[in-house]
Amino acid sequence: MAATTHTVTNQAPPLVGYDVYGEDRALAEAVERHVEPALLDGVREELTALGQAAGSAQVQEWGALANENPPTLHTHDRYGNRIDEVAFHPSWHRLLGHAVSSGLTNAWGRPNGHVRRAAGFLVWTQAEGGHGCPVSMTHAAVPALRADPALAAVWEPRLTSSVYGQELLPAAQKPGALFGMGMTEKQGGSDVRANTTQALPTGVDGEYALTGHKWFCSAPMSDGFLVLAQAPGGLSCFLVPRVLEDGTRNTFRIQRLKDKLGNKSNASSEVEFDGTWGRLVGEEGRGVRTIIGMVAATRLDCVIGSAALMRQAVAQATHHAAYRRAFGGELIDKPLMRNVLADLHLESEAATTLALRLAAAYDSDTEQDRALLRLAVPAAKYWVTKRCTPVAAEALECLGGNGYVEDSGMPRLLRESPLNSIWEGSGNVQALDVLRALQREPMALNAFLTEVGQARGADHRLDGAIKNLLTELADLDGIEGRARRLVERMALVLQGSLLVRWAPSEVADAFCASRLGGDWGSAFGTLPSSLDLGAVVERARPEA
């Protein structure tokens, strides 16, 4: 009788067939907190349906296939005609279509629209991150287009539509449309005022001919783009459609697709304009001011996207540890592994809680919340996106060698994790933006301090961190060299104040002890052993 040499034991089953939304307690509680009671049943229903889809084996396969079969550029057709088209795997279109039909590009016209959309984006991004790029830009283009009511009237109903159509057609022939963005150039990067793309008036009011090169243009198969170019009156914002009203293709030459570290399913490109038709959005010379609404909204999506990646990483790590046995018991019950998993969950819950609070501020019409966003969005974008990569790396390590293998999905999470820290302005850009707000907009600081002050007196470590932050804010001499340190402290104090107010006591206690009280090492898994770490880990673990 042949010996059995390949009996598989002690392997964790795949994390499939679960509700990504319902099993995320921090997210579900945030939705309960920020959504109006009259709407709550309907919102729960839509997010549960999205969560069950995101956790299904089919959708997870879509995510894997979209990354294993990245987009390809076709500059010419078989006859030699220039077409500049990008072909995607069918799984990409399925993911993107489901995102659009689920309302992930429609936040601006619905009650509690930003909280609902942020929660959905956080859930669906866990299935696959790359297609979130056009979803985010389409959502974020709305406030910029509103600078021109005539343009907004044409495009906004299509951008907020629940219909996804991948064909390149004039906007008037499409029930739904997607948007991209083209700001950075090779000589300037984040310094968009160094742009050299020229925009010359055609003689028709509001119409220009653009000539130049964009170093990064994501989702080049979108229906329209907001781009920056130098007009006679200075740097200005323009709408560049892929297809003109008469059905002809606009001059939009895709030079190449970027070969990126991660985000493989999404096409990021270099594009060339050569007499390309563009429509002025806003006023000449006010391009940055016009497009800043889009930038702010996509920066918040960077926070939400990083929170999603962290949550998925923690879900995978805790799921694995619950099933894997070592040294006489389940890994999840081992004190040292429990410390690591709890520590990872603190980052995840703090990021989720902050992201949903900022989304709720977008839904608010109070001056206080508008001022809060001015400081809190760049601070959150700076800190949360930077925490994503170490969380993904440590979570991968929780799976050991299994986590280093592509089949686990963890390498894809790790490759995706640095993106949001770079996109829409890297760390230094966010820190400098916070400084500008502090120096020019005193209401923003007042709103921030009012927000964190709501938790004063509830935890002595938070109180001490607020006091130290006030001391640092009182001395702005030479602040640029200390900007990262300051912004990090602001983000941590804001997260701590939200957790003290809303999270379970074991989560808030652990966060304040480690992140604010200094009882923490330099790596994950160094929380004080006196904390109730078992309760924190149980909160993190999804039930498949």
Going along the chain from its start, the domains and CATH numbers come out as: 33-285 (2.40.110.20), 289-540 (1.20.140.10)
Closest CA to 488 of 444, 437, 445, 428: 428
CA separation for the pair 376, 494 (Å, rounded): 8
Q: What is the pLDDT along the chain (544 residues), one digit of tens a residue?
A: 666 788 899 999 999 999 999 999 999 999 999 999 999 999 999 999 999 999 999 999 999 999 999 999 999 999 999 999 999 999 999 999 999 999 999 999 899 999 999 999 999 999 999 999 999 999 999 999 999 999 999 999 999 999 999 999 999 999 999 999 998 898 877 788 889 999 999 999 999 999 999 999 989 999 999 999 999 999 999 999 999 999 999 999 999 999 999 999 999 999 999 999 999 999 999 999 999 999 999 999 999 999 999 999 999 999 999 999 999 999 999 999 999 999 999 999 999 999 999 999 999 989 999 999 999 999 999 999 999 999 999 999 999 999 999 999 999 999 999 999 999 999 999 999 999 999 999 999 999 999 999 999 999 999 999 999 999 999 878 899 999 999 999 999 999 999 999 999 999 999 999 999 999 999 999 999 999 999 999 999 998 7
Which 3 state secondary structure label does DSSP give 236? strand
- The predicted model scores a pTM of 0.97
Task: Please state, in angstroms and as integers, the Cα–Cα distance from residue 390 to each residue in 173, 373, 378, 442, 527, following that order.
Answer: 46, 26, 20, 34, 16
Residue 259 sits at φ, ψ, to 5 deg, of: -95, 100
Q: Which long-range contacts link 2-11 to residues 24+ away (Cβ below 8 Å)? A: 10/324, 10/325, 11/323, 11/324, 11/402
140, 219, 348, 528, 535 from 506: Cα distances, Å: 36, 42, 15, 12, 7
How far apart are the C-alpha atoms of 398 and 527, rounded to whole Å? 16
Separation between Cα atoms, residue 145 and residue 290, nearest integer Å: 8
**Three-state secondary structure readout of 60-71:** HHHHHHHHHCCC
Question: Can you tell me the distance from the alpha carbon of 142 to that of 498, in angstroms, rounded to the nearest whole number?
Answer: 29
Dist CA 50 CA 350 (whole Å): 23
Contact of 510 with 495, CB cutoff 8 Å: no
